Amino acid sequence: MKLMDVLDGADVWPPPVWLMRQAGRYLPEYREVRGQAGGFLDLCMNSPLAAEVTLQPIRRYGFDAAILFSDILVLPWALGQGLKFAEGEGPVLPPLKSRAELSGLSLERAEAGTAPVLETVRLLRASLPQETALIGFAGGPFTVACYMLDGKGGGEFPRTRMLAYEDRALVEGVLDLLVHGTIAYLQGQIDAGADTVMLFESWAGILPAQQFRDFVIAPNKAIVDRLKAKNPGLKVIGFPRLGGLLVGEYVRETGVDAVGLDTVADPAAAIANCPAGTVFQGNLDPLLLRMGGKALTDGILAVLDGFRGQRHIFNLGHGITPDVPPEHVAQLMDVIRASSAIP
């Protein structure tokens, strides 16, 4: 598995490649299955269909890794918080208003609620090509807490940011629950056959520096420490999106083995800030994948050049958008595979 070789410290060129949201609405075969499933959450909880849409981009493009098809908000839903995905509106949750409401959420309930996701992992492990790594994932505690406290996405989660000052105990209580829930959830994915796991801290960058340390780095470190203590040799990928100059501190303090870089991250600055031996993942602008042609090729080559001499997993700086033509993804794979000269 090329991806696992890189995470284990090997120099691999061209780099392994997978793309965030590589299973999704840009693929006609995904849209066909999505129509069979009912709602989006129904698709996440239907193990055979979730496995099928995870496998679709592997069959079509031969990515070096499959990432479990699910959603970061499965965990709060499994804990007992309401969740619906409204068409054109995104996820909607009843926002947590108090520590009393928080106490109504249950780690025991989450074990049963996430069982279909773990079955998806087992199905994938039995179906994937031997050379294809399987990535399990969860939302980072702060990112998931943003949705639990604000009740929806969009904007920059003003209620969560205010609560960090006005009711820090509530925010810390949510984070503590999510740390324990995420450890159990990711351990379940590892036991079911995931080769590596990833933490998506997609909203890390909305915090000032000290809150970034308290609400992103510390919870991520607790998860990584616990998982690595139980699973010697486990590799963990972290994605502290828009973390800027704090990305190096995030890597050093959390103990992640690879760091996903967002579109605005400069490779040279990230390399200079992160510990030697860090694996870098990213960071092509998803807009170029929509454009295709020379702009896409030039962008791919710029990313490859930016990480030459480093251990690198090629990816986007954020997820594929639904308007990407599938043939542009094929172009991306062709360009990367043609870059066969050793850096």
Q: What does the angle CA 118 – CA 124 – CA 126 come to, to the nearest 5 degrees?
A: 110
CA proximity to 305, closest of 258, 343, 263, 262: 343
From the centroid of its chain, how far is CA 166? 30
C-alpha closest to that of 336 among 284, 287, 271: 284
Confidence band for 341, pLDDT divided at 50, 70 and 90: low
Q: What amino acid is encoded at 110 in this protein?
A: A
Residues with catalytic roles: 21, 25, 34, 71, 147
φ, ψ (nearest 5 deg) of residue 299: -65, -40
What is the model's pLDDT at position 342? 47
- Asked whether the beta carbons of 237 and 312 are under 8 A apart, the reply is no
- Contact predicate 160/214, CB 8 Å: no
| Alpha helices (H) along the chain | 2-7, 28-37, 40-45, 47-61, 74-79, 99-103, 107-113, 115-127, 141-150, 158-166, 168-192, 209-212, 218-230, 247-254, 267-273, 286-291, 293-306, 326-338
Sequence length of the chain is 343
Spatial CB neighbours of 331, under 8 Å, sequence gap ≥ 6: 292, 296, 297
Q: Are 77 and 114 in contact (CB under 8 A)?
A: no
340 falls in which pLDDT band (50, 70, 90)?
low
Lowest-pLDDT choice from 50-64, 87-101, 295-309:
87-101
Measured distance CA(136)–CA(121) in Å, rounded: 8
CA distance 95 to 332: 40
Q: What is the pLDDT of residues 245-279, one digit of tens each?
A: 999 999 999 999 999 999 999 999 999 999 999 99
Rounded Cα–Cα distance for residues 239 and 106 (Å)? 27
Segment 11-41, tens digit of pLDDT:
999 999 999 999 999 999 999 999 898 899 9
